[in-house]
Amino acid sequence: VSLEAGILQQLDMEQFNSAPAADTVDQQVLPIAEATPSSEPPDPKTCSPREYLEFYIFPVLLPGLAELLHEAEKEKCFEVRRTKFIASDFLTEWLYNKNPKRKDESFTEFFSIPFVKDWLKDHPRPPIPLSLLLLEEEASIIIQSFWRGYRVRCHSEIQELRQWQKKLREERNINKVVKQFWTKQEAK
């Protein structure tokens, strides 16, 4: 069974039935390949681009893309507008670890892959925003604690206490007093 025939079997044909001239659209998008002997793969240096894709690229890439979709679903990429999930990173890691030349080697994380390390030395990434790293519960706790602190600091008694502490710090030069205290403690 050719690759296109396998893909066509998986497609939901109801999508094409609603479009005008569904048969012509189907054939334009995914033409059926003529049967090729699958006994031995063609020579990668002399075969056509189509044969190269069918025999060398797609058998490796399509399972990776399927795994990518499963992982994206786990990361809720289809539910949330922004996520920390980077599809190209996942696919790079997956393809690197599934490489037949690395069959006996252990799993390597994305940032430990040698060519990724080299690339990131020259092209560092900005850090992922905290809003994408935190879970919803963690983010709500931080927001709620900040809001409670803000509401408490708005009370007149607290404002008065903060003003008194500020004045005391300025008059007594509290940083100097603390340094002297610790130097005495260290001398003992």
pLDDT exceeds 90 at position 167: no
CA geometry: angle 115, 70, 9, nearest 5 deg: 110
pLDDT, tens digit (0-9, with 9 covering 90-100), for 142-154: 999 999 999 999 9
- Read off the pLDDT of each residue in 68-89 and give the average, rounded to a whole number: 90
Query: Which of 14-18, 56-60, 61-65 is the most confident on average?
Result: 61-65
The whole-number pLDDT of residue 38 equals 58
Q: What is the DSSP string of 141-184?
A: HHHHHHHHHHHHHTSHHHHHHHHHHHHHHHHHTHHHHHHHHHHH
The share of the chain scoring above pLDDT 70, in percent, equals 79
The whole-number pLDDT of residue 39 equals 66
pLDDT bin (cut points 50, 70, 90) of residue 160 is very high
Average pLDDT of the chain to the nearest whole number: 80
- Read off the pLDDT of each residue in 129-133 and give the average, rounded to a whole number: 86
pLDDT bin (cut points 50, 70, 90) of residue 173 is confident
The share of the chain scoring above pLDDT 90, in percent, equals 43
| Cα–Cα distance, 80 to 159 (Å, whole number) | 41
CA within 13 Å, CB half, 125: 11
pLDDT bin (cut points 50, 70, 90) of residue 116 is very high
CA distances to 64, 89, 99, 100, 163 from 93, in Å: 10, 6, 10, 14, 55
